[in-house]
Structure 1
C-alpha cells in the first residue's frame, strides 16, 4: 500500500533538507528520503570538514610564524593529526545534530533508504511515486506517492578511466577525509577549487604537495590576475605547481604511486594521489529512465523554477546543471518550494552568486571577471592592495588585492574579485551591493570602520573613479 504525502524530497543534503524545512513552514506534509545522513556531502564530506582542516592548517601557519609577532615558541611545533581529525568530527557531529533537530522540530518524516522514481503505475497515474529499498533485507520496500516531488540527489567525485580510485592510495575528496595519517608526499590532479584548497591545507600541515593542472592556470573560473597571484603565493610557500601538464596514467608499486605525465620520460613517484577534477551529478540509478524527464551527463534539465519536463517534478542542487555550491542548492530549494506553493518565484541570477575558495590566501568573487565580460561591454576597473591596509598588516596577511568593476554605461557595480585575508567573508558586502544595484561610488562613499579589511573594498571602489585616498 502506498503512503501519501504533499511533498516528497529525494535527497537530504543541503538543498533537500532546506527545501523540506521551507515546505513544512508553509504547512505542507513532507517526507524526506535519504540513503545516508542528513546534511549530505557538504556537511559530512565537503564544506564543513575541509574548512575545519583548513582552520587547523591556519593555526599551524600562525605558530610557525609566531616569531614575526614577537612570540617565541621554544622547540618545534608538531601536528597531531588524530586531534585535528577529532576536532573536525566534533564540529560535523554538532552541526549534524542541529540539522536532525530542525527536521524533527518541523515535523518532517525522514525515511532512511535508497529511493527510485517510478513511472505511471498502479500507485499513481503519473510519474513521481518513489520506491524506497533498505539495507535491511528483512524490511519490505515502501512506496511513497506525493502531489509534488523534488529531486535533490547531489553529486559525486568525478574521475577518469586511467585514474581509478581505490580511496587508499588514489583518492577522491571522500578518501582524503578518511585519512588517519598524513602522507609525506601527495600529487593532486586538478587545480580547481577542491584541488587548491587541499593543496593549501596539506602543505601547511607538513605534506610535500605537487599540483598537476592540464590547463595553463589554476582556478580558471577566477580572473587571470587572481590566478597569477595564487600561483605566486603557492610557489612562495613551497607548493609545487605543474601547469599545462596532463597526467596520462598511474601505477601502484611498493607503497608508492607512479604518475605518467605527458612529455616526461620517467614516471614521478608519490605516496598518495588525489583526483580533484570536479564532481558529476547523481542522476543514474534513481529511476529517471522510468519518466520523461530529460537529463544527461551534466544533470537534470529544469526551467527557471526548477521544474523538469514533468512539471510536478522539480530538481535542485548539484544534480542539475547550475553552480555546484551549497548556498546555491539551499536557495534553489527555497525557490522550488516557493513555486510549488505560490506558482511563482524569482529566478536566480547565477552570475551574481558569490564564489569562494578557502585557500591561504582566500579567494572570493561575484559578478563578472575581465575574462567573462560580454563582447562589447565597456567597463572601468578599480584596485587596491592589502599591503596598504592597516588591519591586514596588523594581522600579518597583507598579500592580495581587491578588484572592482563597473559598467561604463550604467555606472552599476558588475564584478568584484578578492584575493587576500577573509576574502570569503568580505565578498558578502559586494554581493549585497550588486543585488541592490549599487554603484561603486555609493560603496566608496559609505563610511567603513577603521581599521578593518573592508576599507580595502572602499578604496578599490573609489579607485574606479580615481578617487582612492590611500593609493
Structure 2
C-alpha cells in the first residue's frame, strides 16, 4: 500500500480546493521548506510540500548532518591525541596514546553517518505528515506564479497544483570543475564522501573555505595525510583573521600541508589514486581528491523566467528580508537565495515567509544577528560585526580579545588554542559582534548571539554571573576588561 503522504490525486488541484483555507505549495524539503510547511500548517493553511531527493534536503542527507556526524568521530580521536598531557597512557605499552595508534573503521563510521541521516529524514517526514502536510515525492516546477507543475522522473507533467502562496526552497548542488569531474570513487564532491569504506591514505582537499577546512581538519584527525589547496594567502578567507590564524597553526602542528596561493586546474585518476594539477603546472599526487568549491543554486529549469521571478547572475533568487521574490505570492528560502548558506538561516527564511504570506506579525531577517560556526578543531563561531568591518571603517567599534590560556577550565582540559573576542559600539557600549575559537564554540556562541540580538551592553555582560570554572567565564571576563579599560580586574 502506498504511503498516503506521497500520493498525488488524479486532479492535484483538489488538494488545495477545500474550504476557505489559504493554499501553500512548497518546492523543496530542506530546512527552509519543512520549517515553512510546519509554520504554514500551524497557521491553518492547507499545505503541500514537493521534494524529489528526500525530506531534509542536502542539509540532512548529504551535507550538515552527515558531515557533523563524521566530524564528531574525528573529535573523539582528536581528544585522544591530546590526552597525554592529562596523564593518560596506554595500559600495555605505557606510551602516550595518539589518534594513529587507533584503527578507524571508515565503513562503520560512514554506515552510521548514513543511518543517522536517514533516521533524521524519516523523523522530519513523520512530523510533517502528523502535522497535516501533504508530502509529494517528485520534482516541482513553476508553471505560473499561482501554479506548480508536478513532474514525473521522465520530465512529463504528472499534475498541477494551484496555490495562493508558493515557496521555493530548492537548495544548491556542489560546484565542480569541468576538468575535474567527480566519479564518486577517487575524485569526490562533499556529497560522495560517505560511500567510502576505507580511509584515504592521502586526501587532497581543493578549496579552503568552510567545507574544505572542516574536512581537512576531520580527515587529518581520522588519520589521513591531508593536503589543502588554497587559492588565497590564508585558509578561511573572509573569516576573522585571528581565528584563521589559530586554525592554520593547528593545521601546521597536526601535519596538514597547506598549499596557499594555489589554484587547481584539473584532477585526474591514476592507477594508484589521483593527481591534482595546479595552474602553475605543479602536481599533487594523492589517493583521493575532494573538490570543495562551493555550491550552485538548483534554480535551472524551475520555471522562474516564465513566472517572472528575478534571479541574480549567479543563479540565486532575489529576495527581500521577509523572503519575498519579485513576484507577488512567490517566496524563496535557503541556499537558492544566496543570503547565507546556513541551515539555520534557511529555516528562519522559511518561517518568516509563511508568517508574512499568511498575514501574521513578522520580524524581518537581520543577518547581523545570525551566528555561524566552522566545525574544525578547534571550532570557530562568529556573530554580528567583524573586526575587519571595524578596521575598514565600515562601522564604529572597539575590539578586545582574550586568549583561553588564562582560563582555569581550559587549563584543566589541556586546551592551548582559542580565544574570545568582543566588539563593542563606542558611546552606547552595546555588543555588536563576537568571535569564539574553542572546542564546542558552536554551542558557546549563544550568549554572545543573545547579546547582539537584544542589544546588551558590555557592562551587562560583565555583571552576569558565570560558573567557575567554565570557558564562559572568559565571556564575561573580556567584557570586564573592556569596561575597566585596561585595568587588571583580577582572575576569573
Q: Is 1:25 aligned to residue 35 of structure 2?
A: no
Deviations 1:419-446 (A, max 9, x none): 1121111111100111110112211110
Q: Is the 8 A contact 2:104 2:199 kept in 1?
A: no
1:262: how far off?
3.2
Report SS of the residue matched to 1:56. helix
How many residues were matched structurally? Answer: 462
Q: Is the 8 A contact 2:177 2:266 kept in 1?
A: no
| Counterpart Cα distance in 2 of 1:142 and 1:377 | 52
| Counterpart Cα distance in 2 of 1:453 and 1:355 | 19
Q: Is 1:153 aligned to residue 170 of structure 2?
A: yes
Q: Is the 8 A contact 1:154 1:281 kept in 2?
A: yes
| Counterpart Cα distance in 1 of 2:393 and 2:217 | 35
| Counterpart Cα distance in 2 of 1:65 and 1:452 | 20
1:19: how far off?
0.3
Aligned to 2:386: 369
Superposition map of 1:216-227 within 5 A: 216-227=233-244
Q: TM-score, normalised by structure 1?
A: 0.94
Report SS of the residue matched to 1:142. strand
Aligned to 2:306: 290
Report SS of the residue matched to 1:141. strand
Superposition map of 1:293-332 within 5 A: 293-296=309-312, 297-332=314-349
Aligned to 1:387: 405
Q: 1:369 to 1:298 in 2, by over 3 A?
A: farther
CA RMSD of aligned residues (A): 1.9
Aligned to 2:490: 469
1:90 to 97, 115, 118: 115
Q: Is 1:416 aligned to residue 423 of structure 2?
A: no
Aligned to 1:44: 61
Aligned to 1:166: 183
Superposition map of 1:109-128 within 5 A: 109-119=134-144, 127-128=145-146
Superposition map of 1:440-451 within 5 A: 440-451=458-469
| Counterpart Cα distance in 2 of 1:424 and 1:79 | 25
1:376: how far off?
5.9
Report SS of the residue matched to 1:393. helix
1:3 to 1, 13, 16: 13
Q: 1:65 to 1:250 in 2, by over 3 A?
A: same
Q: 1:65 to 1:413 in 2, by over 3 A?
A: closer
Q: Is the 8 A contact 1:459 1:469 kept in 2?
A: no
Q: Is 1:81 aligned to residue 78 of structure 2?
A: no
Report SS of the residue matched to 2:421. strand
Report SS of the residue matched to 1:335. helix
Superposition map of 1:187-198 within 5 A: 187-198=204-215
Deviations 1:329-371 (A, max 9, x none): 0011110000011165221111221010000000000011121
Q: Relative to structure 2, which stretch is displaced further, 294-303 or 32-41? A: 294-303
Aligned to 2:131: 106
Runs of 5+ unmatched residues, structure 1: 120-126
Runs of 5+ unmatched residues, structure 2: 1-10, 17-22, 94-100
Deviations 1:398-439 (A, max 9, x none): 311111111113211111011112111111110011111011
Q: Is the 8 A contact 1:112 1:134 kept in 2?
A: no
| Counterpart Cα distance in 2 of 1:355 and 1:315 | 21
Aligned to 1:123: none
2:251 to 234, 237, 243: 234
Aligned to 1:406: 424
Q: Relative to structure 2, which stretch is displaced further, 248-257 or 353-362? A: 248-257
Aligned to 1:207: 224
